Amino acid sequence: MDKVVIGFIGTGVMGKSMAGHLLNAGYPVVVFSRTKEKAQDLLDKGAVWASSPKEVATQAKVIITMVGYPADVEEIYLGTNGLIANALPHTYLIDMTTSTPTLAVKIAEAAIAKDIYAIDAPVSGGDIGAKEGRLSIMVGGSDKAFKAVEPILKHLGANIVHQGAAGAGQHTKMCNQIAIASNMIGVCEAIVYAEKAGLDTNKVLQSISTGAAGSWSLSNLAPRMTSGDFNPGFYIKHFIKDMKIALEEADAMRMDTPGLTLSKNLYTKLAAAGEENSGTQALYKYWER
């Protein structure tokens, strides 16, 4: 895997930074995005443009995808002009999109039939983690494939754990999103309570973010709320997608998820009010409304 050509599909809020780390590490990188302008900074730094996933597949030994929705993943991987139909044998495919465990298994099985290795490796850490190369990466797939691509993943994340067979990475990401969903409600309520009590929210955060209430969202997103910064590190529309997947998976396991259900309902109301392209910290606006 030393300096193999890496294909990167999806150069949005997080993908752009991730592909940049690979360029900085000296890997030749071929990129594709539905909007070429989003990849321009990478092209200026030496990445090569591909006009389609098929073109990426013919050039790269390792291909990473970081796109929006499961439907995008399915088209990119399983479509006629997709990766599995056009990649060379022994290519490694790494989907870092948050998608469904079922689709991850489907992709892995299709890949095996073509002598291709596919792993699901969704991430957590948002735009900050992507920029700093400190993402948490949850991997599902064969042990052989994981060990082969682990050196590449180390350029993108600081906490990389092989969770099990295909789909295990996506299941783990659902655990992550379930924990965040309820936590975000608590973070917002705490900030609004502090404001209504006439407290200095910065001092409140100084006290509670390092105690038992501490969380990534409290330390990183609460300050954005108080400063009025609702730009997306992670889009509300994508979080709703993730929560929908988690609810469907929980329902299939006959599991009740009251916290997750409440969070999805609140975020859905915000999206309907025009906040779907805001960051998840914009849940704070629910109390303004």
User: 3-state DSSP helix/strand/coil percent for the chain, to nearest 5?
Assistant: 55, 15, 30
Count, in order, helices (H) and strands (E) of the chain. Answer: 15, 9
Q: What is the largest CA-CA distance in the chain?
A: 63
* 179-193 burial code (b ≥16 CB/10 A, e <16): bbbebbbebbebbbe
Q: Which two tokens stand for residue 39?
A: 């990849």
Q: What is the DSSP letter of 118?
A: E
Which residues are the active-site residues?
173
Spatial distance between the Cα atoms of 148 and 133, rounded to a whole number of angstroms: 19
Four-residue CA torsion sign, 114, 84, 105, 102: negative
Q: Which two tokens stand for residue 49?
A: 């443009």
Q: Are 133 and 21 spatial neighbours (Cβ–Cβ below 8 Å)? A: yes
Spatial distance between the Cα atoms of 192 and 186, rounded to a whole number of angstroms: 10
Spatial distance between the Cα atoms of 5 and 269, rounded to a whole number of angstroms: 43
DSSP 3-state of 256:
coil
Q: Are 131 and 104 spatial neighbours (Cβ–Cβ below 8 Å)? A: no
Spatial distance between the Cα atoms of 56 and 270, rounded to a whole number of angstroms: 37
